[in-house]
Amino acid sequence: MIRVAPLPRWWMWRPEADLDAIRRAAKRKRFWARVVEWDVVLAAEARDVVHCDQFTDPAQRRRAGRLCAHFDAMRDLDARRVAQVEHLLWRALVALRDSLPMRAALHRETNRPGLAAAIAEPTRELAELDRRLDQFESALRIVVEESDPELTHSALRRVAALDPLHWSPRAPGRPHAEHDRADDDDGADQLQARRVVGSPGHEGGEAEGEDQHGEHVLHETS
């Protein structure tokens, strides 16, 4: 079990993000101090990283963290399939993050009279997103928990074949969250199986580095 101190932190970089450029920019902002990976995460633009502090809803933060933990446990599987799943995971995390304004708006509007018709459609769309996120999480969990190697690879192929998740509706009365479109034209087969994910705490992983605050950070580039 890896626990990240003082609080569980996780993040995922956009697969095509230029991490060297992002790190250089972060160092320029903090030239007087040593820069650790979490500083780089916080300095990056939302289009390049999804991280725990972007999730104000604790339940959705935990949900996104579970997705990251499941994915991070796939490090030794087929690289091409893992790259496809990485693409899907990024879309899932962005969709979940971008749905937060609507979740908050619907929570505020639920008890107001006369709004049933106005919120019916966004409620259905949000329910569909949650259904697909649950399906994706279940598929990831099966891959991680399957002990038979042949069945594991079969489960991984099924996950990689899932449709990408998108989130497009506008939350009632709220500006739409930023969407990532930089990777729309790139096929999953062109992705590299690169993972730079901060662990939310899970079994089966080992920290490859430890920053000055004692925070364990997982890094892998293949």
d(CA 26, CA 37): 10
Task: Provide mean pLDDT across the span 4-30.
Answer: 84
Residue carrying structure tokens 């979490």: 38
CA distances from 162 to 87, 137, 151 (A): 11, 11, 17
Q: Give tens-digit pLDDT for 117-149.
A: 677 888 889 999 999 999 999 999 999 998 898
Short-list 189, 154, 162, CA closest to 77:
154
d(CA 177, CA 97): 8
Q: Where does 44-146 have alpha helices with state H?
A: 58-72, 79-98, 100-109, 116-145
Q: What is the pTM of this model?
A: 0.72
Residues β-bridged to residue 185: none
Task: Provide mean pLDDT across the span 76-99.
Answer: 93
Task: Provide mean pLDDT across the span 16-36.
Answer: 88
Q: Give tens-digit pLDDT for 144-188.
A: 998 898 899 999 999 998 887 766 655 444 433 344 333 333 433
Q: Give tens-digit pLDDT for 70-81.
A: 999 988 899 999
Q: What are the residues whose beta carbons fall under 8 Å from the beta carbon of 100, sequence distance 6 or more? A: 55, 56, 57, 60, 177
CA distances from 66 to 73, 86, 91, 113 (A): 11, 14, 15, 36
CA distances from 101 to 69, 84, 120, 154, 167 (A): 24, 28, 16, 37, 12
d(CA 106, CA 120): 10
pLDDT at 208 over 60: no
pLDDT at 18 over 90: yes
